Amino acid sequence: EAGVAQSPRYKIIEKRQSVAFWCNPISGHATLYWYQQILGQGPKLLIQFQNNGVVDDSQLPKDRFSAERLKGVDSTLKIQPAKLEDSAVYLCASSPTPDRTNYGYTFGSGTRLTVV
């Protein structure tokens, strides 16, 4: 099966600009996650969708970050305006839900964002 697709792979922007990342999960996976991985740290969940509804966005900085998953398939994550501390790898992952017998995400290769 095809994996989780993310684009772009790299992005460099100036602070205060806006940026958007795109994710296409594995076909049929109901749950989609966006994680932020700052250099030297483990990934941190930003937002979790189940179909097109939000399950958990408690760690999403809502003053500048937004995400949507229209039609319960593809998702976009937007940052506006970007700050220097937003420099990180943004990982998208998906999982079939409910699947209480096989917890384990499939991750994409991420987008590396550099804010200068």
Q: Determine the number of helices (DSSP H) and then strands (DSSP E) in the chain.
A: 0, 11
Q: Is 51 left (phi over 0), alpha (psi -120 to 50) or beta?
A: left
Residues in contact with another protein by the rule CB under 8 A: 3, 31, 35, 40-45, 48, 50, 55-56, 89, 91, 93, 95, 97, 103-105, 107-110, 112
Please tell me the distance from the alpha carbon of residue 58 to that of residue 15, in angstroms, as a whole number.
24
Least distance to another protein from the beta carbon of 3, Å? 8
Positive/negative CA dihedral, 116, 91, 45, 57: positive
Cβ proximity to another protein, 65 vs 105, nearer residue: 105
Spatial separation of the C-alpha atoms in residues 114 and 48, rounded to whole Å: 23
Nearer to another protein, 79 or 108 (CB): 108
Nearest distance in Å: CB 14, another protein:
23
Tell me whether residue 39 or residue 70 sits nearer to another protein (CB atom). Answer: 39
Q: Minimum distance from CB of 103 to another protein (Å)?
A: 5
